[in-house]
Structure 1
Amino acid sequence: MSFNFQGKTALVTGASRGIGRSIAHRLALQGVRRIVLVARNAQRLAEVAAEVQQLGAEAIVLPVDLADPIQVNVAIAKAWQRHGPVHLLVNCAGVAHQTPFLQAKLPQVQSEISTNLVGLYTVTRLVARRMAVRREGCIVNVSSLMGKVAAPTMATYSATKFAIVGFTQALRSELAPYNVRVVALLPSLTNTDMVSQFDWFRWVKPASPNQVAQALILGLQRNQIEIVVGWQGHAALWAQRLAPSLVDRLVRLAAPPVAQPQRPYSTHLM
C-alpha cells in the first residue's frame, strides 16, 4: 500500500540543507500537514521553515545535536507531546569526511559514526516505539549507494552507510507486525554543500537534492523497500551483483588519486 501523505506529520533530520531540505519541500507539496525540522543550525532551520510554510505546511523548528542522546530524548519527547504523533520519520542527517584511511583522524571518524549511526539509532528508537504503540508509521533511513558499493577515501562514511542498510533490513522485519514500514533511500553522489570540496569520482554524474527527494516520494508511492536514485545507482548495483570484481576495479580507477605517505606511520594511536 502506498504511503498517504495528506494531513500527516513528518519529522526530517538533517533538514537545514541539501537532501533533507529538498525532502521537506517535497513533503509539503505532497500535502503533509506538519513537518518537524531537525538539525543543529537554528538559523538555517528557520529559513527552511519559512520555505515550507510558503508551500502550505506547518513547520516546527527543532535545533538538536543528534550526537547528544540526552538532548535528542528530551527534544523528541517534547515534540511528540506538543505537536502530536509522527507518521513519517526521515533520517537524513549525515556527516562525511573524504580522507584516505591511512591519513584519517580519529575525531573525524567519531564524528561520522556518532551522527550517521548513533544519532540515527537514537531518533529511530524514540519514534519507532511510539509508532509501534499506535500501530502505524513509516521510517525512511537515508543510506547511500556507498552503503552497497564502498568507495576509497570514504571508508568510515561507507561503513556507516553499510550499517544503515543492515539496520534498516533488520528493523523492517521487526516492525512489520506493528504496521510500521521501514525503507532505505540510496542516493548516489549528490551535489550538496557537504561534498562541494570533495575530489569527485571520475565518470560519476551527481544528482541534485531535488532529484533525490522526488525519488523518495515516488518510491513511497510505489511501496518500495529500497529506493535507488538514478540510473547510475541502478547500474552499479546490478553490476555489483553480477560482477563484483569488475566493479571493484572500476571503483579504484574512478577514485581520486591518493598521495603516498612520505614517511612510515607511527604505531601510536592519534
Structure 2
Amino acid sequence: MNIQGKTILVTGASRGIGRAIALEFAQQGAQKIILVARTHSRLVEVAVEIAALGAEAVPLAVDLTQPVEVNIKIAQAWRDYGPIHLLVNCAGVAHQVPFLQSHLPDIQEEMAINLMGMYTMTRLIARRMAVQRQGTIINVSSLMGKIAAPTMATYSATKFAILGFTQALRSELSDHNIQVIALLPSLTDTDMVKNFQWFRWVAPTTPQKVARSLVMGLQKESPEILVGWQSHLAVWGNRFAPWLMEKVSRLAAPSEERQILARLKAAGANSR
C-alpha cells in the first residue's frame, strides 16, 4: 500500500505506538492525519510535530467508550476531512496484576477501550469505506494475542479477540475492496507499561520500530505483521511446542512479590 497522499485516522495517537505510527505516516507522505485520543492538549502537541513534517494534522478529542460521541465526531470528521483511506485502531489500555487480585473497574476499562472502542470506530469507518469501495483497516493486537501472558489475563483476552475480529472482517470486507490487517507488537517501551514489571528475557522494542515494521508490512501486503525476531520465534515455538511456550511464559512472568512491590512503588509515585 502506498501511503502518499492518503487521509489516515489513528486512534490512541497522543502517545506511544499510536503517536509513532502517525509520525511515521507523515514522513511517508500521508496528506492528512486525523489524530484521535481523549486528551486534546496531547493531540495538539503531536499535530505540531506532524505539521513540521509537511502533512496536515487534525486533532480530534474523542472518548471511545462513549458511542454517541464517537458517532457524532467521526461523522463530522468524514464530512469535513474525508474520505478516510486508512484506519489504525491503536487505542488501548493495560493493567498488570495477578487475576485473583484484579479489580472489576480495571477489567471493564480494558474491555471498553480495547474491544468496544475499536468495534465502534471500525463499524463507523468500514461502512463508509464500503460505499467508496476502498480502504484499509489496521487493528493493533499484540504478541499477547498469540501467546497469553500471566498477570495480563484480561489484556491478553482482548488482544486474542482483536485477532479473531480482524480475521473475520478480512473475509467479510474483501468483497468491498477493504483490506483488514493485524499488527502484533511485542513488549514496547511506552508510558502504558512504565510501572509494569517486565517479563524476564524479553527485550522491549520501541514505538518507532513498531511504526517502521507496520510500513514495511503494508508494502508487502502482509495480513499479520509481527514485530521483531523474538515475536517470530515465540509464535513458531507456540505453534510447534505450545507446552514449552506455556512453561517459558510462567517462568518469565513477574512473581507475585515483585507485583506487590511494583504496585506499592506506583502508588507512592502517584501520591507525590
Q: TM-score range by the shorter chain?
A: over 0.9
> 2:261 corresponds to which residue?
none
Structure 2 counterpart of 1:240, one-letter code: N
SS in 1 for 2:54: coil
Q: 1:201 aligns with which of 199, 202, 208?
A: 199
Query: What does 1:1-270 correspond to in 2, within 5 Å?
Result: 3-259=1-257
Shift of 1:259: 4.3
TM-score by length of 2: 0.94
SS in 2 for 1:184: strand
Q: 2: CA distance between counterparts of 1:153 and 1:21?
A: 26
SS in 1 for 2:14: coil
Shift of 1:126: 0.2
SS in 2 for 1:205: coil
Q: 2: CA distance between counterparts of 1:57 and 1:122?
A: 27
Shift of 1:166: 0.2
Structure 1 counterpart of 2:216, one-letter code: L
The structure whose residues are more often helix, as a share, is: 2
Shift of 1:258: 1.6
Q: 2: CA distance between counterparts of 1:98 and 1:73?
A: 31
Structure 1 counterpart of 2:142, one-letter code: S
Structure 2 counterpart of 1:150, one-letter code: A
Shift of 1:70: 0.7
SS in 1 for 2:35: strand
Structure 1 gap segments, 5+ residues each: 261-270
Q: 2: CA distance between counterparts of 1:97 and 1:54?
A: 34
- Deviation track 1:174-207 (CA, whole Å, cap 9, x = no partner) reads 0000000000000000000100100000000000
Structure 2 counterpart of 1:211, one-letter code: K
Structure 1 counterpart of 2:93, one-letter code: V
Q: 1: CA distance between counterparts of 2:104 and 2:45?
A: 33
Q: 2: CA distance between counterparts of 1:153 and 1:72?
A: 31
TM-score by length of 1: 0.95
> 1:266 corresponds to which residue?
none
- Number of aligned residue pairs: 258
- Deviation track 1:38-62 (CA, whole Å, cap 9, x = no partner) reads 0001010000000000011000010
SS in 2 for 1:139: strand
Q: 2: CA distance between counterparts of 1:174 and 1:99?
A: 36
Structure 2 gap segments, 5+ residues each: 259-272
Q: 2: CA distance between counterparts of 1:197 and 1:217?
A: 29
- Deviation track 1:41-94 (CA, whole Å, cap 9, x = no partner) reads 101000000000001100001000101111110110000001121000000000
Q: 1: CA distance between counterparts of 2:131 and 2:157?
A: 32
Structure 2 counterpart of 1:7, one-letter code: G
Structure 2 counterpart of 1:94, one-letter code: G
Q: 2: CA distance between counterparts of 1:251 and 1:6?
A: 41
Q: 2: CA distance between counterparts of 1:175 and 1:105?
A: 37
